[in-house]
Structure 1
Amino acid sequence: MASKNIIADLNKGEKLTGTNYDIWHKKMTFLLNEQELYEHLTTIMTRPSRRDLEVFETWSKKNRCACFTLLSCMHDDLIGSYEHCATAKEMWDQLMFDFGGTSVTRLRSLVLKFEMYKKDPKNSMTEHLRIMSAMIRDLKNAENALSDEQQVQTVIRSLPDSWVSMRQILTHNENIKNFADVSRHVELEAESEEATRATALFSQRGKRHGNWSKRKNKGK
């Protein structure tokens, strides 16, 4: 019960975003020590002989607990990049490699990720903008605050190729001054596209139903 309370308390606070790795690392070390799971971040157990299977199963259960704890204390945008790790040690080491470098290295990585980011087709436009907002926040926390113009232009570049005409319109729209402005325009356009698709789908279904009714009446 105590361990569950600790997890709950940590989850209420700031989760790993990438720029807060150092303090997050200290918190996780404390938490996993309290849970008696820290050893799983430093060792890997190979499958033992049949007679030691019970030992292995116990280790596997604790490893899953350690993985769950690490993932539950990450920002949602990071979980997908680490949930595939087979062991807690693999996840721990990868996180250290990705975020535990020098400040200059982390900053360069954050800037490159933001500038090259493109909308994932499986994400809604709202989710896409939320991810970009989180990147802007991470850069600000790393003492690299972007200008409004940089934020706007990067968001426009991140839009799908199918939005080529809209990208041009947004680029030359003098009313778009900051991230909030471009987000509002982009979300309105996305909603309009979704409404158009829904109307077209409804119309298509109506035509199919009408054709089916005609064929049914002819058969009488």
Structure 2
Amino acid sequence: MTSKNIIADLTRGDKLDGKNYDIWHRKMQYLLNEQGVLETLYVKRVLLAEGTASKHEKEIYNKWIKEDRTARYTMLSAMQDDLIGQFEIFETAKDMWDNLKITFGQTSSTRLRALNLKFLQYIKDPKHSMAEHLRVMSAMIRDLKTAGNELTDEQQVLAVIRSLPDPEWPQMKLLMTHSENIKTFNDISRHLELEAERLEVNRSVALVARSEKRSGIVPKRKKRHNNRAQKKWNQAPQVAEPKCSG
């Protein structure tokens, strides 16, 4: 089978739908090998040290970036639409490939154990917005249900609370754990998105204040009228003007 035929199969009739993973997996490896980017599935990205990387290191890194982008695009193009949204959140081809294997490529019992472990250990990625984080959690909950473990509302809520990073959310985690208004995944999603918006506004205000302080800008204050003095003036007895004798 030629690479052109495989491309046609993977982007038209044989797109990954969750049930055809085994054949999709084999065809995808062949195709990525033909494209010269198969290595990206097995090599972790190494970040360059800022300001110290040599020209050769930069060339290698840029080559990896280009190949990784090709591999990610190829895999996403060969998925059904509902799966694209689930897996495009992974930033490297290797991360996407590994998670595809966890989701579709293991026996039911092994897969369930792997999904449970991943779900219990998952912590919000600092690069993700709160909306993106909640989408990841929702996708994992769906995967667990498909694998035979349907979580209760309470388990879902507690898992989301546990996934929040401690340095930023300790007080809110405590409040949400004991809140009677948070009973479902949708409840906690609404609370977290609102709280994330509030924190972002506070950060923006603080940033503006620091910037103004550094630049020496002093906010103008409105003049206040001396209402007390005005009141005393109004209450004081008025002195009659002297009449002219004529």
Match of 1:139, SS? helix
From 153, 157, 163, the equivalent of 1:152 is 157
From 70, 80, 83, the equivalent of 2:92 is 80
The more displaced of 153-162 and 72-81 is 72-81
1:70 alignment partner AA:
M
Task: Identify the residue that residue 201 of structure 1 maps to in structure 2.
Answer: 207
Greater RCO (CA < 8 Å, at least 6 residues apart): 1
Q: TM-score, normalised by structure 1?
A: 0.64
From 19, 22, 26, the equivalent of 2:23 is 26
Q: Matches of 1:97 and 1:178 in 2, distance apart?
A: 26
1:37 alignment partner AA:
L
1:37 aligned onto 2:49 = no
Q: Indicate if the aligned counterparts of 1:71 and 1:79 stay in contact, CA closer than 8 A.
A: no
Shift of 1:77: 3.5
1:102 aligned onto 2:107 = yes
Task: Identify the residue that residue 164 of structure 1 maps to in structure 2.
Answer: 170
Alpha carbons of 1:10 and 1:66: their partners in 2 closer, same or farther (altered >3 Å)?
farther
Task: Identify the residue that residue 53 of structure 1 maps to in structure 2.
Answer: none
Higher helix proportion: 1
Task: Identify the residue that residue 48 of structure 1 maps to in structure 2.
Answer: none
Shift of 1:101: 2.8
Indicate the structure (1 or 2) with the bigger Cα radius of gyration. 2
Shift of 1:142: 1.2
Instruction: Name stretches of at least 5 consecutive residues in structure 2 with no aligned partner.
Output: 40-68, 219-246
Q: Indicate if the aligned counterparts of 2:112 and 2:144 stay in contact, CA closer than 8 A.
A: yes
Alpha carbons of 1:165 and 1:27: their partners in 2 closer, same or farther (altered >3 Å)?
same
1:118 aligned onto 2:123 = yes
1:82 alignment partner AA:
K
Q: Matches of 2:22 and 2:148 in 1, distance apart?
A: 20
Alpha carbons of 1:159 and 1:81: their partners in 2 closer, same or farther (altered >3 Å)?
farther
Q: Matches of 2:140 and 2:113 in 1, distance apart?
A: 13
Shift of 1:175: 0.8
Task: Identify the residue that residue 55 of structure 2 maps to in structure 1.
Answer: none
Give % identity.
45
Q: Indicate if the aligned counterparts of 2:21 and 2:105 stay in contact, CA closer than 8 A.
A: no
From 127, 132, 150, the equivalent of 1:127 is 132
Q: Indicate if the aligned counterparts of 1:29 and 1:38 stay in contact, CA closer than 8 A.
A: no
For residues 7-29 of structure 1, what are the alpha-carbon distances to aligned partners after superposition, in whole Å with 9 as ceiling and x for unaligned? 54469x6x57xxx3x52333455
Shift of 1:147: 0.4
